[in-house]
Amino acid sequence: MSEQRGASRRAAFSALVSPASRATALLLACWMLVESAACPVAVAETFPYRQEPVNYFSDELADPVSKLRSEIDMGTVRLEFEKEGGRGYLRSLLKALDVSPASQMLVFAKNSVNARTISPENPRALYFNDAAYIGFVPGAPFLEISAVDPRKGAVFYTLAQKDDATPSLVREESCLLCHVSVNSLHVPGHLVRSFVTDPQGNPGRGYSRVTHDSPYANRWGGYFVTGDFGSLPHLGNLSTAADLLEHERHRDGPGRPVDLARRLDAAKYLSSHSDVVALLVHEHQTHGHNLLTRVNYEHQFQKPENSEEELLRYLLFADEPPLEDPVLGSSAYESGFVKLGPRDGQGRTLRQFDLETRLFKYRLSYLIYSDSFDLLPDPVRLRLYRRLWEILSAERPAAPFDRLPRAERTAVLEIVRDTKRGLPEYWKP
């Protein structure tokens, strides 16, 4: 019966997806994915985010895309249209937002507004940096863009793939049909999902919220995954009937590798990779931003919950599962990410990877350098600083923070002292 319901949802979705029914298509896509989710997630307090003090749809924005939109309107920045290859404004937009093409991840699950044009042969490419995300589907009429505003959370835009004299970044409201939900902690946020699809890319069973805490065996459904991940189990690269059949026979086995040259025309994209390290960072970052927004909203709307402690657990990777095998990326993403720093006097940075037993060598998230952290309300930020200092400087912190060895906590404390401005006096040696 559940298979019949899934088939009827997919048939209805196929009938509705057209350029003229974007909002309806998004709503039904959300319904399909939430209905097919296999793992429950906690329900948190909701917020009237359209109202003060957040006033989500006001023009008072501080995300990087809104800044770029102002520069385009003033004529100080010009986006170049690339006709050859059908990429349009993609390359120029990435450059303007300082997003590396090496961050490319390829998604063949039909779980975005451009679902009609997405398939395993024509996947959606995602690119990101610390605060902006760009989605590109070859042949789609527009680029999907989002960015993080320190007070409002995720803000969404589209950019028509037309060679206009002055391209226009258009703010989108319909994206919130999916992007304000239990999976984004009931704040405007970003979503990482993992769904085993059929050979056409239609989502089936899977998981509606993936973070760095998720078991690796639950990750990357509907994604291509390149690089060396040993025998690490995962749901990526299941894009053909043969892949799906083999997976059903060996569900507990290691994840499947992929030869992208045999699956798609890589010339349509800016990179020939869908790097496993970029995927790992992306999963960490998206939920981290959502938690920062959640904590901010709770203070602004005076609805305190336990999100500050949850944020601390997340920033310190307290619930991250260990890597069962070392991981090696396939592109220049890893080296480019580490270079962003900042570094302390010994050359250490929170961006250094481990990739042997865990994602990062020093387990405190680089998101503490983000505007979303720095612009938290003063009482919230000061409480977080105090708890962080107590955990990092303690002889034996309470569980779950005791999983970080003393030497690592000392190193993290020293790195933060050396690289973070505005620390309270008690952080100083």
E strand spans, 181-333? 194-197, 203-207
Please state the pTM of the whole predicted model: 0.90
User: Is the per-residue pLDDT at 32 higher than 50?
Assistant: no
Tokens representing 357 are: 């037993």
User: Is the per-residue pLDDT at 187 higher than 90?
Assistant: yes
Domain boundaries, the chain: 2-268
Q: Determine which helix (DSSP H) or strand (DSSP E) holds 154, and give its type and residue range.
A: strand 153-160
pLDDT digits (tens, 9 = 90+) for 268-317: 999 999 999 999 999 999 999 999 999 999 999 999 888 999 999 999 99
pLDDT digits (tens, 9 = 90+) for 339-373: 999 999 999 999 999 999 999 999 999 999 999 99
Tokens representing 244 are: 């799906």
More confident of the two residues 39 and 125: 125
Tell me if 108 sits within 8 A of 223, measured CB to CB: yes
Q: Which residues contact 55 (CB under 8 A, 6 or more apart)?
A: none
pLDDT digits (tens, 9 = 90+) for 99-119: 999 999 999 999 889 999 999
Residue type at 141? P
Residues 370 and 384: their CA atoms lie apart, in Å, by 14
Query: In the 8-state DSSP scheme, what is residue 81?
Result: P
Tokens representing 99 are: 């997003």
User: Is the per-residue pLDDT at 400 higher than 50?
Assistant: yes
Residues 255 and 237: their CA atoms lie apart, in Å, by 8
User: Is the per-residue pLDDT at 41 higher than 50?
Assistant: no
**C-alpha dist (Å) from residue 23 to 27, 28, 153, 157, 190:** 6, 9, 21, 14, 18
CB atoms within 10 A of CB 125: 22
Residues 359 and 322: their CA atoms lie apart, in Å, by 9
Average pLDDT, the chain: 90
Tell me if 273 sits within 8 A of 102, measured CB to CB: yes
- For helices 276-300 and 307-315, the axis angle rounded to 10 degrees is 160
User: Is the per-residue pLDDT at 338 higher than 80?
Assistant: yes
Long-range contacts of 354-359 (CB under 8 A, 24+ apart): 355/277, 355/323, 355/326, 355/327, 355/328, 356/323, 356/326, 357/322, 357/323, 358/317, 358/320, 358/322, 358/323, 359/212, 359/280, 359/281, 359/284, 359/317, 359/320, 359/323
User: Is the per-residue pLDDT at 21 higher than 50?
Assistant: no
Q: Which residues contact 119 (CB under 8 A, 6 or more apart)?
A: 108, 110, 200, 201
Assess whether the previous peptide bond of 342 is cis (omega < 30° from 0).
Answer: yes
What pLDDT shows up at residue 44?
60
Tokens representing 378 are: 């003063």
Q: Determine which helix (DSSP H) or strand (DSSP E) holds 128, and give its type and residue range.
A: strand 124-128
Q: pLDDT grade, residue 20 (50/70/90)?
A: very low
What pLDDT shows up at residue 13?
35
Task: Specify the 3-state DSSP secondary structure of 12.
Answer: helix
Average pLDDT value for residue range 22-33: 46
Query: In the 8-state DSSP scheme, what is residue 41?
Result: -
3-state helix, strand, coil in the chain (%, to 5): 40, 10, 50
Q: pLDDT grade, residue 85 (50/70/90)?
A: confident
Q: Which residues contact 24 (CB under 8 A, 6 or more apart)?
A: 16
Q: pLDDT grade, residue 5 (50/70/90)?
A: very low
